[in-house]
Amino acid sequence: MYICPKCKEKLILNEKTYKCINNHSYDKAKEGYINLLLKNSKNHGDNKDMVLARRHFLEHDYYKVMANELINCIKNVPHDTIIDLGCGEGYYTNLIEDTLHSIVYANDVSKEAIKIASKQNKNINYFIASTAELPLPSKSIDVSTCIFSYIDFKEIHRILKQNGYLFTVMPAKLHLFELKEHVYDTPYMNEEKIPTSELFELCETKNVHYEFTLPNNEAIQELFTMTPYYFKTSQKDKDKLNALSELTLHASFLINIYKAK
Ligand SMILES: [Zn+2]
């Protein structure tokens, strides 16, 4: 049920090519995904190294407690069709599809991420596109998820059915605080500013909070590389992590549940 990113007409799949009435065509990749990102788009997202580091970290299921809580929340609302926005390498998308067996779509601007994701689960409809301009018809989706990803309320509202739901996940105050304590002289807590929009009613916010242990230095370095702090930290501060062989720290997330007005 994709629409053409150029002319917004319906795309029809014929063998391995999607085509619209105006003859714009898009080939299905051998991995199964479809590239619907227009060539002139600037941001191409995470590179392969970043994608692989994140996948390796997530595979250890340190964040599965949060994912399960999110899935339990989705179970309470109609969820025949779901889209995981900014899905990255598909760790959460895969858990969602595996548990709920809904029709699942997922997008990311990173081709490397989508390639890796679509190799893992052929039941998920992966496509390359920006969340700001989704190649999906209006009012076609029951549930959208934004897990640490960009929230475009207007575009999400367009694709959601009436009374559809949006679930967002963001880091809470104490998320990874112990990691920051090791790196910075004056570590700060995360700001808990929950985004809102007049297009959505914020129904509920849940805090998922637990401790987990990274058993070796490799895992510690991998986690730090995944964080937004990584690019803002000097090499001197980064080097402070080299001496750590184990680290117990807090995972703390906010799951925000919104209903489309
Ligand atoms: Zn077209």
Q: Could you tell me which CATH number the domain at 33-175+182-207+252-260 has?
A: 3.40.50.150
Is the pLDDT at 63 greater than 80? The verdict is yes
Query: How many A from CA of 3 to the centre of ligand 1?
Result: 8
Query: How many A from CA of 26 to the centre of ligand 1?
Result: 10
Q: Which of these ranges, 35-44, 59-68, 177-186, 195-204, has the smallest mean pLDDT? A: 35-44
Condensed to tens digits (0 to 9), the pLDDT of residues 153-201 reads 999 999 999 999 999 999 999 999 999 999 999 999 999 999 999 999 9
Query: How many A from CA of 137 to the centre of ligand 1?
Result: 13
Query: How many A from CA of 25 to the centre of ligand 1?
Result: 7
Condensed to tens digits (0 to 9), the pLDDT of residues 136-149 reads 999 999 999 999 99
Query: How many A from CA of 10 to the centre of ligand 1?
Result: 8
Whole-number Å distance between alpha carbons of 64 and 69: 8
If you average pLDDT over every residue of the chain, what do you get? 94
Is the pLDDT at 42 greater than 60? The verdict is no
* Residues sharing a CB contact under 8 Å with residue 39, sequence separation 6 or more, in sequence order: none
Query: How many A from CA of 138 to the centre of ligand 1?
Result: 16
Tokens of 205: 């916010």
Condensed to tens digits (0 to 9), the pLDDT of residues 105-131 reads 999 999 999 999 999 999 999 999 999
Query: How many A from CA of 34 to the centre of ligand 1?
Result: 15
Q: Kindly list the domain boundaries of the chain, sorted by start residue.
A: 1-30, 33-175+182-207+252-260
Which residues are placed with Cβ below 5 angstroms of ligand 1, an ion? Answer: 4, 6-7, 20, 22, 24
Is the pLDDT at 46 greater than 80? The verdict is no
Beta strand spans in 133-194 (E): 141-147, 160-171
Residue from 52, 27, 35 nearest 113 by CA: 52
Q: For residue 41, what pLDDT band results from cuts at 50, 70 and 90? A: low
Q: What is the pTM of this model?
A: 0.94
